Amino acid sequence: MAAPKYHHVERFSGSGDMGRDVVGFLTDQLHDGQWHNYQCKQYGRNLSVGSALLELGKIIHFSHQGAFTLPVEYTFVAPKGLSRPLEELILAPTSLGRH
């Protein structure tokens, strides 16, 4: 799969990032158009379900508040990997309601 060609890339960091660490905008409409979110987690351990849901919740909350549209792709960057329960959730997303 070829890497997407972004119109613009923006790095957000620190408090107030609204769940966005690195954003690739697919159009010149930026957050009003299609965009990809890369959420970077450099914890000393693997990424847990709770931490992942917290980050997803931020994106959903701020989108609902009108700060931006939802991203068309959301990628976790986690050098220590994902916890087994998070891997299972990603492989069976309909189970999300049980968390």
Task: Summarize pLDDT for 78-88 with one digit per residue, the tens.
Answer: 989 999 999 99
Q: What is the pTM of this model?
A: 0.84
The whole-number average pLDDT for the span 49-76 is 95
**Alpha-carbon distances, residue 14 vs 11, 18, 65, 77 (angstroms):** 10, 9, 20, 16
pLDDT score at 99: 53
For the chain, how many residues are written? 99
Mean pLDDT value across residues 90-95: 84
| Structural domain boundaries in the chain | 8-94
The pLDDT assigned to 1 comes to 59
For residue 31, the model assigns a pLDDT of: 96
**What pLDDT is stored for residue 98 in this prediction?**
61
Q: What is the pLDDT of residues 10-56, one digit of tens each?
A: 999 888 899 999 999 999 999 999 999 999 987 788 999 999 999 99
pLDDT at 93: 79
